[in-house]
Chains A and B, each alone.
Chain A
Amino acid sequence: AQKITQTQPGMFVQEKEAVTLDCTYDTSDQSYGLFWYKQPSSGEMIFLIYQGSYDEQNATEGRYSLNFQKARKSANLVISASQLGDSAMYFCAMRFLNYGGSQGNLIFGKGTKLSVKP
């Protein structure tokens, strides 16, 4: 069964420090995509970063980087230089190819609530 596991229900980090949010996944497929989304208390889901299963280099987007370890089936999100505005729920998600090659739906983890302390 395809599954995303986020083992940290809540995390605290001091402003300006780095934080790692854990994500492991379970699949026997070879082709998949991994995504991280941020959901502030206002409710919108904001796309942060993407990693394809065949990408050899770890993805980076500004202060966000993805520590992708394919053999261990982990895709941890690293946020550098945390800001107060980073306080939110963070979701790891996975997607597979549909028949015909189109993208499939996302499978989400339960999320990690990050709180940034001033």
Chain B
Amino acid sequence: GAGVSQSPRYKVAKRGQDVALRCDPISGHVSLFWYQQALGQGPEFLTYFQNEAQLDKSGLPSDRFFAERPEGSVSTLKIQRTQQEDSAVYLCASSSGNFNQPQHFGDGTRLSIL
């Protein structure tokens, strides 16, 4: 597609359930980032892939968060045993990898944990 695609757009889950969020980056983009945006705040970095390699996962808040990009294109962010504090918008961004190129964001997944 022309842009970064994320699904679902909205997700409601009960506390304790597992959720999976999908990101389909711009074709050919080697770099893929996940960010978490709390209400009224700027996005915060979660994890980074270069092709299929997860080079940085320092922003993942706990071991309940797991991300993968097995074939170097589509990525999935999984949250196990969800907690209410996981409620946020999860943004995916991709880029060509060159330093002066911007990251292009998807529309995000708004996750609500009841």
Contact = CB atoms under 8 A, between A and B. Distances in A.
Interface of A: 4, 33, 35, 37, 42-47, 50, 52, 91, 93, 95, 97-98, 101-111
A108 B42 contact: yes
Nearest to A52: B100
A46 B91 CA distance: 12
A104 B110 CA distance: 24
B33 A110 contact: no
Contacts of A110: 40-42
16 contacts: A43-B107, A43-B110, A45-B91, A45-B105, A50-B100, A97-B99, A102-B55, A102-B97, A102-B99, A103-B97, A103-B101, A103-B103, A105-B59, A106-B43, A110-B40, A110-B41
Interface string B30-65: 010101000011111100101000011001000000
Interface of B: 31, 33, 35, 40-45, 48, 50, 55-56, 59, 89, 91, 93, 95, 97-108, 110
B100 A33 contact: yes
Nearest to B45: A105
B50 A102 contact: yes
A108 B107 contact: no
A43 B91 CA distance: 10
B103 A47 contact: yes
A106 B45 contact: yes
Contacts of B95: 103
A4 B45 CA distance: 14
Contacts of A37: 105
A101 B100 CA distance: 11
A98 B31 CA distance: 12
A47 B41 contact: no
